[in-house]
Amino acid sequence: MAKILVTGGTGHLGRDLVPALMGSGHDVRLLVRKPQPGRSVEWALGDLATGAGLEDALRGADTVIHAATLSPIARRGMRIVDFFSSPSDVDIEGTRHLLAASRRAGISHFIFVSIVGLEFSTLPYSRVKLAGERLVRDSQLSWSVIRATPFFYLLEQMLGGLRWLPVWPLPTAPANPIDTRDVASYLAEAVSDDRRGMRPEIGGPEILPFSGFARQYRDALGLRRLILPLPVSRRMSLAIGLIEASDRLGERTWKAWLAEQSKQPRPAAVPS
């Protein structure tokens, strides 16, 4: 069983990843920015942006799962500024700090969580994330990169931002967003197999026009809104991160996820 340092363990994916790893019998330690009193998992204080605490956090570990990120869009919804810039101190400088510390600590497997279609997207966050991924791929460590499509919570957040509009003009480009639990299971599996490098990409079980996901959302919430399907070029849809992945498919559908939320909303992982 591996001794794993997880970054981003307090985030949306991280909250599903930690139980998945512990359930597989691994020994897990989280790198956290704030103390986590009462948590049943070991944690070490540190900050990727400054590199503080990384050496102690990595002591005794053999595997790293780097799932931390700083995505302003994911934290508080899209704003105009996000089309012009995105901070790099966690995803680029932080990844650089973590790689250097992992090398010194003799980490034998560095697993990086990434996003499908980064090279086609023109969003500044995607550029930053791709630069971080490249640092991992160019490193001397033994690494794996697992790319996933957008998570359901992000889709919910985007569609929630449209609720005040009576008409929703939405692209018909195909997409298959995914449940974070399916990504977490994939990552837990990747710890124990002997593969390395770029792994098969993972997406949700249903590939549908994006407007189709919006329709399911509207119906699940019982809203009366007109959805206006908007054909856009492949280039444009890729540029805004609308993409599908079919190497590996998750199990949980958007419809099932929405039904779960209505019964028991999951608390926000990161306060906005």
- Where does this chain bind ligand NAP (CB under 6 A)? 7-8, 10-14, 31, 33, 47-49, 67-71, 74-75, 90, 94, 113, 115, 129, 148, 150-151, 154, 269-270
Pick 191 or 225: Cβ nearer ligand NAP: 191
Report, in Å, the least distance between residue 222 CB and ligand NAP. Answer: 25
37, burial (CB in 10 Å: exposed 0-12, middle 13-18, buried 19+): exposed
CA distances from 255 to 73, 177, 225, 228, 270 (A): 23, 12, 18, 20, 24
The least distance separating ligand NAP from the CB of residue 130, rounded to whole angstroms, comes to 11
Alpha helices, DSSP H only, in 24-151? 54-58, 72-76, 95-105, 124-137
| 57/162 with CB nearer ligand NAP | 57
Ramachandran region, residue 193 (left: φ > 0; alpha: ψ -120 to 50; beta: rest): beta
Instruction: Closer to ligand NAP by CB, 92 or 225: give it.
Output: 92
Indicate the residue among 2 and 74 with the shorter CB distance to ligand NAP. 74
Question: Residue 224 Cβ, how far from ligand NAP at the closest point, in Å?
Answer: 28
- What's the CA gap between 37 and 20, in Å, rounded? 21
Q: Of the candidates 129, 127, 145, which has an alpha carbon nearest to the alpha carbon of residue 190?
A: 145
Least distance between ligand NAP and beta carbon 208 (Å): 17
Q: How far is the CB of 11 from ligand NAP (least distance, A)?
A: 2
Instruction: List, in order, residues 6 or more apart from 104 with CB less than 8 Å away.
Output: 55
Smallest gap from residue 226 Cβ to ligand NAP (A): 27
Which residues make Cβ contacts (< 8 Å) with residue 161, sequence separation at least 6? Answer: 77, 78
26 conformational bin, left if phi > 0, alpha if psi -120 to 50, beta if neither: beta
CB-nearer residue toward ligand NAP: 76 or 231: 76
Q: d(Cα 58, Cα 44) in Å, to the nearest integer?
A: 9
Using Cβ positions, the residue closest to ligand NAP within the complex turns out to be: 11
